[in-house]
Structure 1
Amino acid sequence: MSFVACEPDLCVIGPVRDAAPFQALRNPAFAGGGVVGLMSYDAGARPATGDRGGDWPDLMLARYPALLAFDHQTKEVRAVGRGRTAAQAREQARRAAAWLTLAQTPGTPSAPASAFEGEAAPDVYEAAVADVVARIAAGELFQANIARAWSGRLEPGRDPFDVFVRLSAARGAAYGAFWRLGDRAIVSNSPELFLTFDEASRRIEARPIKGTRPRGADPERDDALAAELTASAKDRAENLMIVDLMRNDLARAARPGTVRVEGLFELERHPTVHHLVSTVSAEAAAGFGPADVLEAAFPPGSITGAPKHQAMKVIAAHEPPRGPWCGSLFGWGLAGELRLTASVLIRTAAFVQGEKGWRWRAQAGAGIVADSDPRAERLETEAKILALKQALTG
């Protein structure tokens, strides 16, 4: 399902280094749904890493009284309205429905940036991978997700929405998103679900991704790469470590005995990569709401490592603050029912508007385990960032 909304009637932009970032989610004003939020990675990592600075708020929240919900399976559009009275809600639904009369099919804009510069040389990343492999060999941890970063500026007069349109035209992802609030915006091409929580059924579901191969240039090569991934003992072990971590995280919010692994190592094909995906589910414990479920498992296990606390310390030794990347974009009650859907903000560029226009930053990481090869892990990050690179620079 996809959503379109604008003009929120309530916004909360938390400070950087908020002492209690999840508390704002428990505000009764957000209980009725229509809420979009972004939790930065650093908000969840800080108990392990301490205060490392950064320039993104820990939490951004907006409540939308009117929105459109597009059901891609039934090919239906629902206009959703909210208000203090039934009459106000109906009026907001009518306002949302009227947007359909203004809909246009956008053309694909030209590339809005001219450069895609790495913040560090490739050999710096390979050295970081080698260091993590050595730490694993010494027994410090089992796995850590280590990232590279690229950054730059959009050309004068260009907008982050241009990047989103270019991504969506050919390579849209299941959890792709464009969201702007004030002078900040994100463009995400994420294929990864962090978790869902349905308040009516009490079901929690997480679908971590671990294991990647690039797509092949022809069908035969593509199938060979997919077969190589599904047969890879390294990638399956990497995936299984995160499945165990997610089982532990969900158990903090689950009714005892309800955590289940429903699928392991399922192959998913995306425009530029193949992935291995597993499914973990649970039944939420009595009294647990969306904020509690998010807090129990945040930040996502697939982009930290195992053990999680130590992995976040190792990540901090090699990376500056991540900001939105590997945090989560989530919606609560967008289609009318009280359901939380939260993505993992991988394949995501973060934008900040200033006097000279929009500057952007994007990252890509790889899960490092005992037998990781530094060069192969670097090439994996380049496969993962390819779609964003092409959307930004052509």
Structure 2
Amino acid sequence: MDGYAQFGRLEGRSPVEVVDLADTPEALDRGGVWFVVAEFDGRARAWRFADVRRGPVGSVAAAATPRARTAWAGPARDGWTSSLDQDGYEAAVRTVREHVRAGDVYQVNVCRVLSAPLAPGGPDGTPAEPDARALAQRLAAGNPAPYQGVLHVPASSGIDPVWVVCASPELFLRLDARPAGITTLTSGPIKGTATSPEGLGDKDRAENVMITDLVRNDLQRVCAPGTVEVTSLLGVEHHPGLVHLVSTVTGRLRPDVVTGPGTWARVLAATFPPASVSGAPKSSALRIIRDLEPVPRGPYCGAVGWVDADAGTAELAVGIRTFWWDRGTDGRSPALRFGTGAGITWGSDPHGEWLETELKARRLVDLASAAH
């Protein structure tokens, strides 16, 4: 396979180009369909494919070939390790609470990265990168999500490689071009997680309102005055094994942002990284995250999805419930990675936040493990 991508209704085959959005963000404005992976604390890249097809949402991953249905051989269920163990994570929660007490920050999303050895290898033992499409099909069957997808460009393609499989429930940005030159920008931040609606408490609601306000402020930087509004607040969404509180914020892009140079450079500068996975105030939260988290988040908590520059539309998810395959660099062995985290406020209980990260990871890690 020389490369494959599928997000929502779009499928791409045969990659022909990759751009670094830090250097050439204008690529997303010049035309074509681009599949995007922006790392939370690293590179932001977009790939263009020779063959792009449109179909029903989610149809491609669910209709994986018979070979893909049997090709996934994940790591052992007991082979996963965490960048922060329970003691380390709970200590980080207590540190954030002290920052809140001192008035440095209101909320910080603290995350950890799970890793399990996963060497290259095809189903018949031949050298090959792990079958990302096979994992995507397994997640689509066992954990359907509104923003599921896969982007795999192998190193053998001769193009800068990527390996990401996403089952995100959270919308980062949706761009819709409407008649009369109106372009709407929408975000759907998630804050508040429990096993049932009854488990959602005052802390979850307060945190969601706080982050929704931060998203509103982000969108106001590129939207016309008076057009940014919260169209839904504290909605309860049901997902496999858990529920989330979700709000929706929308606004109309200013005409100078739509027609001027560097539309996507300006939109991403105003909104990235996503508010729900950083904290408030965002600049202070990011500084604390750098101090507390021992490894980079990679695509986790970044942005994944697509941009159709011809149609003026886009859909980018927050890169949560996301796996990526690390080919092995800086002395590290190849490994499958998965991130999980929780939003920390003054009302956080360290052990309870640890359990929330376990809840968010459990189903997905089980699906990706060989023992499933």
TM-score range, shorter chain: 0.7 to 0.9
1:160, 1:351 within 8 Å by CA — same for their partners in 2?
no
After superposition, residues 1-394 of structure 1 pair within 5 angstroms as 1-12=8-19, 14=20, 21-27=21-27, 31-43=30-42, 58-72=43-57, 104-105=65-66, 106-109=68-71, 111-114=73-76, 115-154=79-118, 157-158=121-122, 159-161=130-132, 162-181=134-153, 182=155, 183-200=161-178, 201-214=182-195, 225-229=196-200, 232-288=201-257, 289-319=263-293, 320-333=295-308, 337-354=311-328, 358-393=334-369, 394=372
How many angstroms apart in 1 are the aligned matches of 2:301 and 2:352?
21
The 10-residue stretch of structure 1 (118-127 or 154-163) with the greater mean CA deviation from structure 2: 154-163
Q: Deviation at 1:332? A: 1.0
How many angstroms apart in 2 are the aligned matches of 1:184 and 1:109?
19
| SS of residue paired to 1:279 | strand
How many angstroms apart in 2 are the aligned matches of 1:8 and 1:248?
36
How many matched pairs?
333
How many angstroms apart in 2 are the aligned matches of 1:309 and 1:5?
36
AA aligned to 1:369 is: T
| SS of residue paired to 1:343 | strand
How many angstroms apart in 1 are the aligned matches of 2:101 and 2:333?
46
How many angstroms apart in 2 are the aligned matches of 1:274 and 1:308?
25
Distance 1:146 1:347, change over 3 A: same
| SS of residue paired to 2:14 | coil
CA RMSD after TM alignment: 2.4
Residue segments in structure 2 that go unaligned for 5+ positions in a row: 1-7, 123-129, 156-160, 258-262
AA aligned to 2:287 is: K
Residue-by-residue CA offset, 1:126-177 (whole Å, 9 max, x unaligned): 1110111111112111000001221122255251423222211221211111
Q: Deviation at 1:108? A: 4.9
Residue-by-residue CA offset, 1:233-283 (whole Å, 9 max, x unaligned): 111100001011001100111111111010000000011220000000111
AA aligned to 2:27 is: N
The 10-residue stretch of structure 1 (3-12 or 254-263) with the greater mean CA deviation from structure 2: 3-12
How many angstroms apart in 2 are the aligned matches of 1:299 and 1:253?
15
Residue segments in structure 1 that go unaligned for 5+ positions in a row: 15-20, 44-57, 78-101, 215-224
The 10-residue stretch of structure 1 (198-207 or 307-316) with the greater mean CA deviation from structure 2: 198-207
Q: Deviation at 1:71? A: 2.5
| SS of residue paired to 1:256 | coil
Q: Deviation at 1:23? A: 4.5
**TM-score with structure 1 length normalisation?**
0.79
The 10-residue stretch of structure 1 (365-374 or 112-121) with the greater mean CA deviation from structure 2: 112-121
Q: Deviation at 1:194? A: 0.2
How many angstroms apart in 1 are the aligned matches of 2:84 and 2:230?
38
Distance 1:119 1:22, change over 3 A: closer
How many angstroms apart in 2 are the aligned matches of 1:316 and 1:308?
12
| SS of residue paired to 2:255 | coil
Q: Deviation at 1:69? A: 1.6
Residue-by-residue CA offset, 1:86-105 (whole Å, 9 max, x unaligned): xxxxxxxxxxxxxxxx9735
